[in-house]
C-alpha cells in the first residue's frame, strides 16, 4: 500500500484530534436546547349545502376540519388537527398518521405548506409546526375526535380580501359551524407570509392556526390555476357543472362556463353514465383523466 492510500484510509479528526466515532460517543444532546416539532393539517373538503327545492342544483360549501381542544393550553378553543412528531417519524408520516386518526382515510392528497417557527407560538415550550394541506372527498370521511380533543367538526370556510393599500393586504378569515363563528383578520405584504392582526368576535382559533389556514388558502387557490388539484376534492364520478362549482367555491368567484369547460377538458374523461333522480335533466358524468392526474 502506498503512502497516499494509507493517508486516505486513516480516520479524519477535528481540531481537537477526535474522530467522528469518538465525537459521537461523547456528544451530549442535553447540552443544547431542543424545540419540539408538531405536524398540523388544514384538511379541505367540499360538501353540498342543504337545498329545500330538490329541483335546484345543490350549492357547494368549502369546509375545513377543526377539533375542540380538551386540555391546556387553549382549553376549549378550536384548532387544526395535528400532534407532535414521534421520534421514529418524519413530519409527513406524522401528518398522515394524524389524518388517519382524525378522519379514518388515507391515500389522499397531502402537501407540505410551511414551517411556523416563531419562538412564542406555543406557551408550553418552543414548538415548531410543520404544516400540511390535505384534500379529501367528503363522501369518504368518518370524522372522530382524537385523544386530546373533545369534539371534531367541519367548519364552512371563507377567506376574502378586505382591503388593500399598495403592497399591504388585509384578509378576513371566517369559519362557521352551527352556532359557532370564528373570525380573524390577517395582514400580508406581497411576497411575505401572513401575520395575524386581530380577532373578530368572541371565538378564536388556538395558537397561530389562523395563519396556517390563510397559508393553505393561498396555496390551494394559486395551484388551482395551473394544476388538477381540485379533482382531489371530487368523488369518482361527477358532472362538469359540479366540478365548476368546486372551482368557484374555492376561488370565491364565478367562472364563465364555456371558458371553464375548455380548461377542464384535458383533466377529465367522459363516461357513458348520466345522473339519476336529480329532479332535473340528466347530466353526463365524468371521471378523472388518469393520464393527466398526478
Active site residues: 151
Q: What are phi and psi of 235, to 5 degrees?
A: -70, 180
Q: For helices 257-264 and 240-251, give the axis angle rounded to 10 degrees.
A: 100
Report strand pairing: 127-136 vs 36-48.
parallel
Q: Residues 274, 283: contact at Cβ < 8 Å?
A: yes
Nearest-CA neighbor of 197 among 175, 226, 169? 169
Partners of 186 in the beta sheet? 171, 196
Q: Is the peptide bond before 73 cis (omega within 30 degrees of 0)?
A: yes
In this structure, how many other beta carbons lie within 10 angstroms of the beta carbon of residue 19?
13
Distance between CA atoms of residues 91 and 80, nearest Å: 15
- Angle at CA of residue 35, ends 74 and 43, nearest 5°: 50
Amino acid at each position: 500500500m502506498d503512502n497516499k492510500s494509507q493517508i486516505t484510509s486513516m480516520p479524519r479528526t477535528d481540531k481537537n484530534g477526535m474522530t467522528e466515532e469518538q465525537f459521537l460517543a461523547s456528544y451530549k444532546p442535553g447540552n443544547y436546547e431542543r424545540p419540539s416539532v408538531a405536524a398540523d393539517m388544514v384538511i379541505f373538503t367540499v360538501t353540498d349545502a342543504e337545498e329545500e327545492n330538490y329541483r335546484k342544483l345543490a350549492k357547494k360549501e368549502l369546509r375545513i376540519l377543526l377539533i375542540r381542544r380538551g386540555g391546556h393550553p387553549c382549553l376549549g378553543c378550536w384548532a387544526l388537527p395535528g400532534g407532535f412528531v414521534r421520534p421514529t417519524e418524519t413530519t409527513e408520516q406524522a401528518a398522515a398518521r394524524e389524518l388517519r386518526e382524525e378522519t379514518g382515510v388515507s391515500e389522499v392528497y397531502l402537501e407540505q405548506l410551511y414551517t411556523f417557527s416563531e419562538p412564542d407560538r406555543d406557551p408550553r415550550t418552543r414548538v415548531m409546526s410543520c404544516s400540511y394541506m390535505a384534500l379529501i372527498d367528503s363522501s369518504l370521511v368518518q370524522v372522530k375526535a382524537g385523544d386530546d380533543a373533545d369534539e371534531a367538526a367541519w367548519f364552512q370556510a371563507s377567506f376574502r380580501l378586505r382591503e388593500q393599500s399598495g403592497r399591504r393586504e388585509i384578509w378576513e378569515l371566517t369559519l362557521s359551524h352551527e352556532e359557532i363563528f370564528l373570525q380573524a383578520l390577517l395582514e400580508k405584504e406581497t411576497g411575505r407570509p401572513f401575520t395575524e392582526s386581530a380577532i373578530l368576535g368572541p371565538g378564536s382559533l388556538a395558537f397561530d392556526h389562523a395563519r396556517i389556514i390563510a397559508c393553505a388558502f393561498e396555496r390551494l387557490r394559486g395551484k388551482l390555476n395551473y394544476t388538477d388539484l381540485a379533482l382531489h376534492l371530487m368523488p369518482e364520478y361527477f358532472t362538469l357543472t359540479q366540478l365548476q362549482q368546486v372551482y368557484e367555491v374555492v376561488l370565491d368567484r364565478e367562472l364563465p362556463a364555456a371558458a371553464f369547460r375548455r380548461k377542464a377538458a384535458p383533466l377529465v374523461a367522459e363516461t357513458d353514465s348520466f345522473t339519476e333522480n336529480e329532479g332535473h335533466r340528466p347530466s353526463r358524468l365524468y371521471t378523472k383523466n388518469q393520464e393527466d392526474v398526478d
